[in-house]
Amino acid sequence: MSTAPRTPTSPGGTPAASRTGGTAPRDTGGRTGLVARTAVVQLRASFRNAEFAVGAVAVPVLLYAMFGLPNASSQLPGGTRIGLAMLVSLTAYGVVSLALFTFGENVAKDRGRGWLRTLRATPFPTAAYLGGTSLTAAVHALLIVAGTGLLAALAGGVRLDVGRWAAFAGIMTAGVLVFSTLGFAIAYLARPRAATVMANLLFLPLAFASGFFFPLSELPAVIGDVAPYLPTFHFGQLAYRAVMPASDVAAFTGAATQPVALHVAWVVGSAVLLGAVALLAARREAVTRRG
């Protein structure tokens, strides 16, 4: 007995594709395939957008050139070069900025144009769109790591083994996904036209108070008191600890050394909380639209 697959037919026995003059449905690879296709489309669009390329990828590299290179050869008490510490600081700055503005601003724009509402009216799952956006941001985070890391290695004398480079890149990629929850919350809680303003109002104080620009020991004492309650501070501490000894992390940041597990708990816990807020806001909007 033949086991060859049969071509779908119409009730009259004629192949459906031939009868309609069309072709058989294309295999999209399931939800994973849709996420990958969405990411490819968004990456192509971002690479054609010079404003995005400069704002998201080039700015951290330029900041490192201006603030990281002048003192790159100086060393902390444990032997860590200042160039490496500044690499972590400014790459973390770029990654958190990417998370807030890719998710906060861009998703809010799509929401304001009605694109997300249109997706909900089609068979295309909204989760695939958001998953593709997350994958796109992860690729952009790797580009930031590559740009700042290459400059630090070539001009700043930064030397790391393969394992520590991989750990650094992994933490930064995970960071953009973790803080995307804050971007989603901004996208769904703020009005689309106000999302950019809201993202800036949140991002700049978070970056400043987390010690990405200046050690906490050089800032007012109140900022040092607030920093341990910020997820961005704990994200930065994890990144420093991946490539620097704890004593040099404390010397550079001006913050007392804390267990790695505490930093992980803060980062993951805030991501879960902010993700829940974003999900509730998205569901509320969907119900309001239907009502």
Question: CA 110 to CA 108: how far, in whole Å?
Answer: 5
Question: CA 62 to CA 97: how far, in whole Å?
Answer: 15
H-only helix segments in the chain: 16-20, 30-48, 50-52, 59-63, 82-99, 107-112, 115-120, 126-155, 162-178, 180-189, 195-209, 221-226, 231-243, 246-253, 260-290
Question: CA 46 to CA 215: how far, in whole Å?
Answer: 33
**Range name among 11-15, 133-137, 224-228 with the lowest pLDDT average:** 11-15
Question: CA 267 to CA 163: how far, in whole Å?
Answer: 22
Give this prediction's pTM. 0.83
Q: What is the pLDDT of residue 53?
A: 65
pLDDT tens digit sequence for 177-190:
999 889 888 888 88
Question: CA 102 to CA 43: how far, in whole Å?
Answer: 12
The number of residues making up the chain comes to 291
Q: Specify which residues 9 forms β-bridges with.
A: 15
pLDDT at 238 over 90: yes
pLDDT tens digit sequence for 44-100:
877 777 666 677 788 999 999 999 999 999 999 999 999 999 999 999 999 999 888
